[in-house]
Structure formats: structure tokens, C-alpha cells
Amino acid sequence: MTTARDPRYDILFEPVRIGPVTARNRFYQVPQCNGMGYRDPSGLAAMRGVKAEGGWAVVSTEEAEIHHSSETAPYIEGRIWDDRDLPAHALVTDAIHVHGSLAAIELVHNGMSVNNMYTRIPPMGPSHRPTSGDLYPIQARRMDKGDIADLRRWHREAAVRSVQAGYDIVYVYAGHNLSTLQHFLSPRYNNRTDEYGGSLENRTRLLREVLEDTREAVDGRTAVACRIVIDELIGSDGFTRDDMVGVMEMLGEHPDVWDFMVGAWPDDSVTSRFGPENDREELMRGLKQLTSKPVVGVGRFTSPDTMVRMVRQGVLDFIGAARPSIADPFLPAKIEEGRMEDIRECIGCNICVASDFTMSPIRCTQNPSMGEEWRRGWHPELMRPKGGDEKVLVVGGGPAGLEAAMSAGRRGYEVVLTEASRRLGGRVAHEARLPGLAEWIRVLDYRRTQVEKLSNVEFFLESAMEADEILSYGFHHVAIATGATWRRDGVGRSHAQPIDLDGSLEILTPDDVMNGTRPCGERVIVFDDDHYYMGGALAELLVKDGFSVGLVTSAPEVSSWTYKTMEQHRIQAHLLNLGVELIVSHTVAGTLSGSIALVNAYTKAERMLECDSAVFVTSRLPNEALYLDLRDRQEAWGDRGLLSIRTVGDAFSPGSIAAAVWDGRRFAEDLGRRDEGAWFPRDIPQL
């Protein structure tokens, strides 16, 4: 393809030397967990290969355990324990190399951040301390000199295996509160009084030794990277920015490339609700000047102009990314080809992170092909041609309908998309107006832009559809993407049957509030039985509108599922700072005039809480009436040429926006398939 790159971005495509290897540009996919790891090697290799195909000059693994004394079960990460792991790694490096990119592996000994649930070997760290991972009744034992020597040996052996597997860059990892090397650096974990504790120089000793060991082990065959926390963000109790300056003065020339991160993982990958693009720049600024080696850092970079500024101002040499490379593996290629409008921008929702915490293949709200490259054969930019000349109708212009219309159009089908309201976007258009969720509108913006570019796709607004009308048009395939409606009766996780409502207390739903309705009176109770972002976001909206708000949830904390998107602690703190009253471990049992009945989730004790209105955030019902009407007329399909009708997204099964987008893609992919894509391959372990 002839490029039409804007000259302003030329600097992003300069090659950069990393020790004995050269990156073809400045786009660097930093190590990134994905929920596949050692369990799904073929899927993992295909996913990494697509990143390389899309122009990322360096493509890194997730953390790769170097030894069975430190493993992450039940979480699924990489493993390079012994030579039996090498074939899986070779799949990854081969997939990356075929597109001319460098393959990097992040070696890790997790020490006291894991519980070793698989091996049952007691974890170890610099001091006798409880493990810092999931709560578990176990402590890490203090490493003696023999343990330290073992760790150094295991790391050397893993580095040699990494060379054998074909990696071009081998990481020494001291970040994210996950690595034994960081634990030795940090005074919050290291209270030793020997040569590995006390002064910064002593606490840095093990990192220095492992860096030197790794350089010796790879012997110039690969580059050596150091990924390191530059500030743990807990003040003098931890590793500070000043400490990092001291480390750079001691070790600045030891690795071939520095990879900087901040705080723990939730600080390094803040959701867009709580952090803008490049929110850690000030902490990174100035460190590059302490080394002659190239520097990479992340910031959920989506703006090419910000990327250029970071390089020109000497903050970074490489534009590091995990989440933006997930949302759009072809981000570098699109910048190079001058196709800015085609970039699928990360919305910072962290649904990708949730895959790691749920031990399931990675997914993305913006990119439904993520994690499906191998097992379903989906590609973020390419789609197989249509199987015939059938015409497709998509009813509903929300995230599922837009994705279905766009993807079917890309396959070459003639598509008509109808939307009953005056604007496209469905739930995304409403939810993006909630506090902190503005960047979620990118789900709509990207798809509308792409649909408008497809000459074979038309869309019509203010076009409500009925069964008779649909049957009269002669479409061959119909997708019903009419979304879902929040329930008003309280049925959800806590209640299988409607709550006892006396009718005197005003009950609103999220749909009411997002459509502009505000509660009567001053005191509002939000009952969150959904446990994701909606309850907290509505509570914030209402308190900012001047209401006195209480949030009731059956869980021990608010928005409890957002632990998996690493923002629960921020949501709870934010609501408390706003003055929202948090009433946890309770559910709503009923309503009376001017009050609501609560039941303790544990003791079953009841109490009354005065309020003027309540907002129920419980569960949703699919808007499936149109589908059911069409299904009941199936005998008329043949005469009208209709071959298939199916509900898509929330109209099929209410879920996340990511699930709706994925289902829209699945509808388009399944057109013309007899099995409707129900089967897909698995990686079967071989004995």
C-alpha cells in the first residue's frame, strides 16, 4: 500500500537500536497479561502475531514464570520452567518474527506476591511477611543466601531458554508490586539488615546481580530490558521517585532498554474514569536524561500528537502500550498510512484486564477480534468475503447493531441499519454521558465513521420497525439488536421474584435517569444489585445534581465486580469523598411511603430507611418482542425469501458493552455458515 503518512509523525517510524537488535519503529507493545498464557499457546501466538502484523516493532509476552517456586495459580500467565515449555514460546516468537518485529519475554519470579496454589511450595521474599496477592492464610518465608543464589541461577537458566525460544529481548522485571526484585528494592517489604537490605545500594544489589547475570547468560545474542517501578506512590514507606534516580545513577547503563511503570498495576493501568491519557508523564519526565539507553513508558496513548511530543521532548524513546495495542493492533500501521479516522481508540474500560482476573481469553470492548484470532479466525481488519448475494437488515443502532452492520458490510453484504430514535449509539450514547465515562463514546464514533465509509451499508434514523414491514422488504437475514431495558421490579441477583412495592414510593431505573428524569424529593436511595459500574456512576451523577444519595448493595463493598477492572478502590473512595452514604451488605426487601425496607445480607435483620425515591440497578430484560413476533410468523419466511432471524447483543442476552459488540461481530461472521460458528478449536495438551 502506498503510504500517505503525515510528516509530523515521521519521528515515530524511525528505527531505534536496542543493544544488539534494532526496532523498526518506536511502537512498543509492553508485557501484557491476557488470560491465555501457558494454557492457550496457539491462541496466544496468533494474538501476538497480529500485533506484529499491525506494525508494533516490539511485541512482548505476559509475565513468564521462571520457576515452580513462584507461580500464579489460579491465574494463567506464561511459564518457562524448563525445556518442555519452549515449543509454546517458539510458536509466539515465530508468529512475531514473520512480520519483522522483535519478540520480548518478561521473566519473573513473583516471590511474595503469589500463593503457589498449584505447587504448594511456600512462597518466599526478602522478609517474613504475609503474601501480598489474594488474601490467603499463608506467609512468605525470608530468603536466605542459598535462596538468593537459587533465584539468580533460575533467572540465568530462563534467560538461556529464552534465547533458545527465539526471543530478541529478555526482561529483568522489578515492577507492578509483583516481582521479587521489586520486593527487595522496596522498604515496605525489605527489612533485612544484611548486604541485601537497609541502604538503597544494598536493596538494589539483587537487581544489579540479576541484570549482570542476564547479560552474561544471553551473551550478546539478545537485548536485555529492565522493567521497573519508578515510584510506588506510597511515600517514604516505599520505593520513591528519588530512589529511582539513585538506581539510575547506579545502574543506568546496565540494561539495553528501560521500561518505566508507576505504582502497582491499578496505578499503571488506570481506567479512563479516573485518569486521562498520559497521566504519569511528570513522574517519567527527566529519567531518560540519566541513561544513554532508550526508554519506554506507557500512558494509554491514543493521540499521535502526544506520542510525538513525548519523543521530541525527550521523555520517551518508545511509545509503550498494552491497552491501545489491544483496542487496535493496527494502530501503528494506520498512523503510517495516514488513516487516523480508522484508529480504534482504547476507551480505558479495562475489560481486557478483567480477562486476566477471570482466567479467560482476553477480550476488548472496541476490538471483538481480540482473543479470537486463532480459535475463530477473526482478524481486526480483514474479513472473509460474503458467501452469497443475500441482503441484511439490522434493527437497532446500538453497539451490537452497529458492529453487526459494519462487519457484515465489510464482508460485502448489502446492509440496511434502522434505528428507532434520532441518534445512533443505543446504550453507549447514554452511558457515555455518565460521570467519567465520556471516552466510551469512542465505541459509537469508530463504528459510525466506518459505516459511513461503506457504500453498501445504509442507515436510517427515526425508523421503528414492525414485523409486517420487515417481512415486506425481502431481506434474507435479519439481526434484531433492540437492546434491553432495566427492570423496575427489583428482580436481580438478590431477588428471584419482584420486590414487595407498595406503590407509594417513586421507583426509577437507570434508563429513567439517563433519559433525563430526576427523582422527586431530596433523599434518593440507589439499590445496586448489578455490582458493576452503573450503580456507582448513577450515585455520583445524582449527588452532583444536588441530591442526598445513599447507595445500598448486597455486597460487602460497592461496585464489587470492578475489582476485576482494578477500579473498585477508586470508586468507593470517590463516592465517600462525594458524600454518598454507603450501605453495604444489605438488600432491599420492600418499600413503604417515604421509606425503604432493608435486610442485612448476613443476619437477615430488617430496618427502615427514610427516602423520597429509589433507583433500582438490578437486572435487565431483553427487548425481544419484535423477534418473537417474527419467529411466530416463521411459516411466512419462505415466501418472503427470509433465511434467518436472530437477536444480537443485549436483545439476545444483556451483558457488557464488550459482549454486545462481540455478538454483533459473531452475527456477521456466521452469515452463510451452517454451524453458525458454534464450534471452534481448542489447544489440547499433548502427552
**Catalytic positions, written as ranges:** 33, 173, 176, 268
Position 19, amino acid: G
- How many beta carbons lie within 10 A of that of residue 648, not counting itself? 30
- Find cell 500485533 and name the residue: 51
Cβ atoms of 27 and 55 within 8 Å: the answer is yes
- Find cell 540519566 and name the residue: 290
- Find cell 491499578 and name the residue: 266
Phi–psi pair at 228, nearest 5 degrees: -145, 145
- How many beta carbons lie within 10 A of that of residue 639, not counting itself? 8
Interior/surface letters 595-629, b for 16+ CB within 10 angstroms, e for the rest = bbbbbeeeeeeeeebebbbbbbbbbbebbbebbee
> What gap in Å lies between CA 269 and CA 551, rounded to an integer?
27
Phi–psi pair at 534, nearest 5 degrees: -60, -45
C-alpha atoms less than 13 angstroms from C-alpha of 481 in its C-beta half-sphere? 38
Handedness of CA 259, 264, 266, 267 (dihedral sign): negative
Q: Find all residues with CB under 8 Å of 277, minimum gap 6, and list them.
A: 299, 300, 301, 302, 303, 306
CA Rg value for the chain: 27
C-alpha atoms less than 13 angstroms from C-alpha of 454 in its C-beta half-sphere? 26
C-alpha atoms less than 13 angstroms from C-alpha of 300 in its C-beta half-sphere? 22
Interior/surface letters 542-577, b for 16+ CB within 10 angstroms, e for the rest = bbeeebbbbbbbbbebbbbebebbbbbebbbebbee
> What gap in Å lies between CA 623 and CA 22, rounded to an integer?
54
Collapsing DSSP to helix, strand or coil, 645 comes out as strand
Going by their DSSP bridges, the two strands 595-600 and 606-610 should be labelled as antiparallel
Q: Find all residues with CB under 8 Å of 675, minimum gap 6, and list them.
A: none
DSSP 398: S
> What gap in Å lies between CA 563 and CA 550, rounded to an integer?
21
> What 3 state SS string does 494-518 have?
CCCCCCEECCCCEEECHHHHHCCCC
Cβ atoms of 284 and 314 within 8 Å: the answer is no
- How many beta carbons lie within 10 A of that of residue 160, not counting itself? 16
